[in-house]
Amino acid sequence: MQGWRMARTACPLDCPDTCSLEVAVEDGRITRIDAAPGNPFTAGFICAKVRRHDRRVHAPERVHTPLIRTGPKGAAEFRETSWDEALDLVADRVRRALDVDGPEAVVPYLYNSSAGVLARGGLSVDLWERLGAVDVEATICASTADAAWAQVYGTMPSADPFDLDHGRMILVWGANPGISNTHLLPLLDRARARGATLAVVDPRRTATVRRADLHLAPLPGTDVVVALAMAHHLERAGLLDRAVLDAHATGVEAYLAAAAEWSPERAAPVAGVAAGAIVELAEAYATTRPALLRVGWGLERNRNGGSGLLAVLALPLLAGQVGVPGSGVVASLDSPVRRPRAGLRQPDGTPAALPERTVLNMNRIGAALVDGDGGARPTVLFVQGANPAVTAPDQLAVLAGLAREDLFCVVHDQVLTDTACFADVVLPAPTHFEVTDLAPSYGTHTLQRVEPVIARVGESRTNDEVAAALAVRLGLPAEPFDPDPERLLPAAVASGEPPTSEDPVRITAEPGTRVAFRDVFPDHEGGRARLHDPASELPLPRYRPPADDRWSLVLVSPASSRTVNSLFGELDASPAVLALHPDDAIGRGILDGQRVRVFDDRVSIEVPCRLDTDLRPGVCSLPKGLWRRRVEAGLTANAFAPATLSDLGGGACFNDARVEVAPA
Ligand SMILES: Nc1nc2c(c(=O)[nH]1)N[C@H]1C(S)=C(S)[C@@H](COP(=O)(O)OP(=O)(O)OC[C@H]3O[C@@H](n4cnc5c(=O)[nH]c(N)nc54)[C@H](O)[C@@H]3O)O[C@H]1N2
Ligand SMILES: Nc1nc2c(c(=O)[nH]1)N[C@H]1C(S)=C(S)[C@@H](COP(=O)(O)OP(=O)(O)OC[C@H]3O[C@@H](n4cnc5c(=O)[nH]c(N)nc54)[C@H](O)[C@@H]3O)O[C@H]1N2
Ligand code: SF4
Ligand SMILES: [Mo]
């Protein structure tokens, strides 16, 4: 590919925006990446990370050929090898494990949330399903929020981000669009310029909070009592919209009975906010019409995550904020990992013929690797599109598991990640600039074509190609595993034709056409929202105090502008910094810039500390997605994150980490 040209594609990274990209290619290398026109949500700009994505595509860390381990586990010593040797070895070890240890000892850890539909939900999923290997549930992100949405609203689609143009009030709850959903910011600014009120519920003063009229900074994990107290106040102040509740909700009295236990005065000390601030927010939300709620994932990542979401998602009905443009909820439009797989299990695979599989919650991967976590101890781990050494909870257990001499570990990735350092076999994967795929958006209504704008770097193979090659070696029929994307793409699109190179951006719903309880309704009985679901594991929201109160600081690990999860983490070598509120520093004798020890009873790390008034007292922060090299001990925030599960959907509890901090 000699010469200079412009090419067009889309960004399928795990980010709600799903930008349309214009890429300059010179002599086969990417030299510039910017926003492409034609996408109403993302035209104009892209994030700084992806503007420099070429540094990763053409990075020295890129894996170019399959690798086989030559040194001790974790030492990252490998020799290059051929695909045939690597695949024969992997297939042989998988076959042996299936026969000798049983399918429950073969663990495919597939996530691929930063890749297109085929890479995520394609043949790889089919392969492990057919082999009867362990079914690793993708619970590390959004599973709590998705379960809560399903409980309250069923399959009802969420509002469109462009509905912000109609809201007189925007309530952002547990989301940080300035970092993780940047194309929402211009819409928030436009709403502000029109005179709309902006309120934010977040323990930190984010860039969004700095634009806001109202800010409530509850302690992480206490959203449930804040939202129930808002509901309680609406009832006692006569601000409930009884007509809307009668028409569109069930379980109202049970919900209000749960809320009756949480007056703002009782909720205030639990959440660490003023009762008056809860009342003010409740009244503003109920009386400014229309008001639009934007919920993020910040409130799901703790023991009360399901309760928090159930309580918050009821507010639009209680306040009657439904039925007109600019009301309702902007949530995840399409969950990052639940992508259309219908049709991909073709052509001969009927679900009935599939073997029974053991289920493993992804958040328990550490315990599972170490001792089986109550089930079989894995002997084969196949990691694809994930970096659990730095993204899963209970990092000590994950690293101990990865270091097991008797675990055969395969990692399929683009670069030598912290997880790949432990692999017996590393397989090179292409970036999305090298493949054909589809990128659906979970933050706006688009479906786009992902194009190969450059040739494959090195000998990389797609997830589907690897699945196809392993399927043949493991005795499965070749035809259903044909990895040609042009064959698979139409099957991945639920309705209509997939977008084409000539027409790469498909708008899947026009703004203003999915107004809740006007155009779209829950698929529950009577088209009603369920505020109480007796059939659920969590029928009503409820508050549970922290399980462990020995350590006084909550450690949160929010998304940072430098990485998407841990992707791009290799490009930053600076030491990780702990952010701490000055009030928490003074009593501990900690000065700005000083080295501190962050510890609990199992883990101790040393990092520089930055005093930061943007945090609320009682909460400290390390970014999510750090690579191990960023901290001397090789342990990140995930070492403090418990592998406990949320109260709904088995979700991760990263923000239930509790630590103490002292001068180093
Ligand atoms: N640049 C960038 N963009 C990303 C990502 C990234 O890593 N980097 N990750 C992508 C992915 S995978 C996801 S899931 C989304 C996440 O998108 P967001 O949900 O916006 O991101 P988070 O940073 O997880 O959390 C949002 C906010 O919740 C706050 N928070 C923490 N705990 C609580 C709590 O208990 N209650 C409340 N009310 N707020 C709380 C945090 O302080 C944070 O400001 O972003 C996506 N976009
Ligand atoms: N402490 C803390 N940890 C967290 C969170 C938190 O809030 N706090 N949040 C969590 C969240 S929201 C998420 S979504 C998870 C994400 O957790 P992971 O999915 O484990 O993390 P990523 O860093 O996104 O890893 C994706 C990897 O896939 C590779 N990749 C990209 N495309 C392809 C492809 O097509 N094929 C293959 N084979 N590989 C590919 C990338 O190079 C990258 O290394 O992390 C969680 N971890
Ligand atoms: S990571 Fe998000 S903001 Fe950045 S280019 Fe991709 S879709 Fe756009
Ligand atoms: Mo996520």
Query: Tens of pLDDT along 47-59?
Result: 999 999 999 999 9
Q: In whole angstroms, give the CA distance from residue 303 to residue 584.
A: 24
Stated length of the chain: 664
Q: Is 49 in the pocket of ligand 2 (CB under 6 A)?
A: no
**Averaged pLDDT for residues 438-464:** 95
Q: Which of 23, 34, 42, 47 to mutate to test the pocket of ligand 3 (most atoms within 8 A of CB)?
A: 47
| Among protein residues, the one whose CA lies closest to atom 6 of ligand 3 | 11
Residues 83 and 209 in one domain: no
Weakest-pLDDT range from 95-99, 332-336, 583-587 = 332-336
Residues 293 and 344 in one domain: no
Query: Tens of pLDDT along 482-526?
Result: 999 988 888 777 666 788 889 889 888 888 899 999 999 999 999
In contact, 113 and 432? CB cutoff 8 Å: no
Look at residue 341 and tell me whether its pLDDT is greater than 90.
Answer: no
The Cβ of residue 335 has, within 10 Å, a number of other Cβ atoms equal to 18
Q: List the CATH number of the domain containing 213.
A: 3.40.228.10
Look at residue 337 and tell me whether its pLDDT is greater than 50.
Answer: no
Q: Is 384 in the pocket of ligand 2 (CB under 6 A)?
A: yes
181 CA from centroid of ligand 1 (Å): 9
Determine the atom of ligand 2 nearest the C-alpha atom of 566. 23
Residues 93 and 168 in one domain: no
The Cβ of residue 155 has, within 10 Å, a number of other Cβ atoms equal to 11
Q: In what order do the strands lie in the sheet with 505-507?
A: 437-440, 446-450, 505-507
141 CA from centroid of ligand 4 (Å): 5
**Averaged pLDDT for residues 396-414:** 98
Q: Is 386 in the pocket of ligand 2 (CB under 6 A)?
A: yes
Residues 14 and 121 in one domain: no
Is residue 439 one of the residues assigned to a domain? no
308 CA from centroid of ligand 2 (Å): 25
Look at residue 454 and tell me whether its pLDDT is greater than 70.
Answer: yes
What SS3 state is found at 437?
A: strand
Residues 280 and 172 in one domain: yes
Is residue 105 one of the residues assigned to a domain? yes
Determine the pLDDT at residue 354: 78
Q: How much of the chain exceeds pLDDT 70, in percent?
A: 96
Is residue 518 one of the residues assigned to a domain? yes
Determine the pLDDT at residue 662: 98
pTM over 0.95: yes
Ligand nearest to C-alpha 47: 3
Is residue 546 one of the residues assigned to a domain? no
Is residue 544 one of the residues assigned to a domain? no
Look at residue 344 and tell me whether its pLDDT is greater than 80.
Answer: no
Ligand nearest to C-alpha 567: 2
pLDDT higher for 354 or 350?
Answer: 354
Is residue 448 one of the residues assigned to a domain? no
Residues 169 and 264 in one domain: yes
Residues 361 and 422 in one domain: yes
Determine the pLDDT at residue 480: 86
**Averaged pLDDT for residues 174-182:** 97
Q: Which of 8, 9, 13 to mutate to test the pocket of ligand 3 (most atoms within 8 A of CB)?
A: 13
pLDDT band at 342 (very low <50, low <70, confident <90, very high): very low
Determine the pLDDT at residue 60: 85
* Omega of the bond leading into 290 within 30 degrees of 0 (cis): yes
Domain-terminating residue out of 21, 39, 57: 57
The Cβ of residue 73 has, within 10 Å, a number of other Cβ atoms equal to 17
Look at residue 373 and tell me whether its pLDDT is greater than 50.
Answer: yes
In the chain, the number of structural domains is 4
Name the CA dihedral angle for 206, 210, 215, 221, rounded to a multiple of 10 degrees: 0
Residues 523 and 497 in one domain: no
* Nearest alpha carbon to residue 387 among 173, 601, 625: 625
Is residue 437 one of the residues assigned to a domain? no
Structure tokens at 275: 């009762």
Handedness of CA 368, 141, 566, 467 (dihedral sign): positive
* Nearest alpha carbon to residue 314 among 459, 201, 151: 151
C-alpha separations of 75 from 401, 424, 600 in Å:
15, 11, 27
C-alpha separations of 625 from 315, 451, 572, 622 in Å:
32, 27, 11, 9
Query: Tens of pLDDT along 317-326?
Result: 999 999 999 9
What SS3 state is found at 108?
A: strand
Residues 122 and 237 in one domain: no
**Averaged pLDDT for residues 463-485:** 94
Residue corresponding to tokens 């930008």:
19
Q: How much of the chain exceeds pLDDT 90, in percent?
A: 89
**Averaged pLDDT for residues 111-123:** 93
Q: List the CATH number of the domain containing 479.
A: 3.40.50.740
Determine the pLDDT at residue 333: 66
Look at residue 68 and tell me whether its pLDDT is greater than 70.
Answer: yes
Residues 467 and 589 in one domain: no
Residues 33 and 72 in one domain: no
Look at residue 146 and tell me whether its pLDDT is greater than 90.
Answer: yes
Determine the pLDDT at residue 2: 65
Determine the pLDDT at residue 141: 96
Q: List the CATH number of the domain containing 34.
A: 2.20.25.90
Is residue 541 one of the residues assigned to a domain? no
| Among protein residues, the one whose CA lies closest to atom 39 of ligand 1 | 174
Determine the pLDDT at residue 525: 96
Determine the atom of ligand 3 nearest the C-alpha atom of 183. 3
**Averaged pLDDT for residues 287-295:** 98
Determine the pLDDT at residue 1: 54
Left if phi > 0, otherwise alpha if psi is -120 to 50, otherwise beta: which for 23?
Answer: beta
Residues 95 and 213 in one domain: no
What are the pocket residues of ligand 1 if the criterion is a CB atom closer than 6 Å to any ligand atom?
14-15, 141, 173-176, 179-180, 201-204, 206, 220-221, 223, 296-299, 302, 556, 558-561, 563-565, 624-625, 655
> Which residue range forms the structural domain that includes residue 589?
553-663
Determine the pLDDT at residue 352: 42
The DSSP letter of residue 421 is: G
In contact, 377 and 371? CB cutoff 8 Å: yes
59 CA from centroid of ligand 3 (Å): 19
Q: Which of 114, 396, 470, 564 to mutate to test the pocket of ligand 2 (most atoms within 8 A of CB)?
A: 114
